[in-house]
């Protein structure tokens, strides 16, 4: 595996330099840039598309969490902070590791191991998950969840939601699974007549939509068979779904 490009984001210069020196002894990662705030980091990410971002949380004006939506989905995130109370939130946004200051050389080595393992998983997904022939709506498909293989009908898939390198599978039967696959894999594999990416976070089986409610001018809610809670949609997704439902009714 070739070295991974990394940037360091921290408002304290000494902290950036210490981390850079600690990483210099690990050839798996090469630091290509540093930023002292979120705006600088966003520019670096846009220019260089780093594989890894070492990210402080508490910074002036914007926190490290504000950078997350600006990163590509496959960017590996390592939070580096002196505060332990943000750990749960960090892993909720898909962080690979949570590095507490001050850190030891041994702890940095553990982080590098996690980064390499994460990158290997992503590379395997990219090389193997290239569907060629779309599935038919009434065909069956086998999915892998944890250590189990589950056979189900394509028509039983109600909705899929992305979660970084994972996706959440919702079935019309009410069952739910987490798969180690990107939503783009299923977007290409499922029949496009019935399955539509109505928003960034929702790939929906149009035949599983059982109720559509317009709440406000720029907001609506849909009820999908098998899903416990209604899905709130913004204006663009509302317009797209309304058009799809009209076509389905015809």
Q: What is the DSSP string of 92-146?
A: HTT-SEEEESS--HHHHHHHHHHHHHHHHHHHHHHHH----SPPPTTSEEEEEET
Q: Which residues of 183-200 are buried (b: 16+ CB within 10 A; e: fewer)?
A: bebbbebbeeebbbbbbe
pLDDT in tens, 173-222: 999 988 877 888 888 889 988 998 887 788 999 899 888 887 776 678 88
Residue with tokens 């509302």: 238
pLDDT in tens, 136-180: 899 888 887 766 778 889 999 999 988 876 889 999 999 998 887
| CATH level 2 (architecture), domain 140-249 | Beta Barrel (2.40)
CA distance 125 to 179: 12
| CATH level 2 (architecture), domain 4-128 | 3-Layer(aba) Sandwich (3.40)
The predicted structure's pLDDT at residue 218? 67
With contact defined as beta carbons under 8 Å apart, do 53 and 42 qualify? Answer: no
> What residue ranges do the domains of the chain occupy?
4-128, 140-249
User: What mean pLDDT do residues 24-38 have?
Assistant: 95
């Amino acid at each position: 595996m070739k070295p991974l490009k990394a940037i360091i984001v921290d408002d304290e210069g000494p902290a950036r330099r210490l981390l850079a020196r600690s990483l210099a002894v690990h050839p798996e990662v090469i630091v290509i840039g540093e930023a002292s705030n979120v705006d600088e980091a966003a520019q670096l990410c846009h220019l260089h598309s780093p594989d890894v971002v070492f990210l402080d949380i508490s910074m002036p004006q914007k926190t490290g969490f504000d950078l997350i939506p600006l990163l590509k989905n496959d960017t590996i995130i390592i939070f580096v902070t002196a505060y332990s109370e943000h750990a749960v939130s960090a892993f909720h946004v898909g962080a690979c590791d949570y590095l507490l200051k001050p850190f030891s050389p041994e702890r940095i080595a553990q982080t590098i191991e996690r980064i390499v393992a994460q990158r290997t998983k992503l590379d395997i997904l990219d090389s193997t998950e290239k569907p060629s022939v779309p599935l038919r709506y009434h065909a069956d498909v086998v999915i892998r969840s944890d250590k189990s293989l589950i056979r189900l009908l394509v028509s039983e898939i109600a909705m899929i939601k992305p979660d970084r390198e994972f996706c959440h599978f919702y079935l019309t039967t009410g069952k739910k699974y987490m798969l180690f696959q990107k939503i783009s894999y299923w977007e290409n594999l499922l029949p496009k007549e019935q399955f539509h990416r109505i928003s960034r976070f929702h790939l929906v089986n149009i035949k599983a939509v059982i109720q559509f409610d317009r709440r406000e001018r720029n907001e609506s809610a849909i009820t999908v068979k098998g899903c416990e809670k209604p899905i709130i949609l913004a204006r663009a997704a509302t317009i797209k779904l309304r058009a799809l439902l009209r076509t389905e009714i015809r």
